[in-house]
Amino acid sequence: MQPDELRTAFSRLDGKRTVRITFAAGQTLVVDGAVLIPVEDDGLLKLTDGDREFVVNSARVAWIEIDLPKKP
Task: Specify if 71 maps to a domain.
Answer: no
Q: How confident is the model at residue 71 (pLDDT cuts 50, 70, 90)?
A: confident
The total of structural domains in the chain comes to 1
- Eight-state DSSP code of residue 68: P
37-64 average pLDDT score = 96
CB 50 within 8 A of CB 15: yes
Task: Specify if 26 maps to a domain.
Answer: yes
Tell me the CATH number at 45: 2.30.30.100
Q: How confident is the model at residue 72 (pLDDT cuts 50, 70, 90)?
A: confident
pLDDT surpasses 80 at 38: yes
Maximum CA pair distance of the chain? 37
> Which residues on adjacent β-strands are paired with residue 9?
none
Q: What is the pLDDT of residue 52?
A: 98
Helices then strands, each counted (H, E), the chain: 1, 6
The reported pTM is: 0.90
Instruction: Using DSSP, state whether 31 is helix, strand or coil.
Output: strand
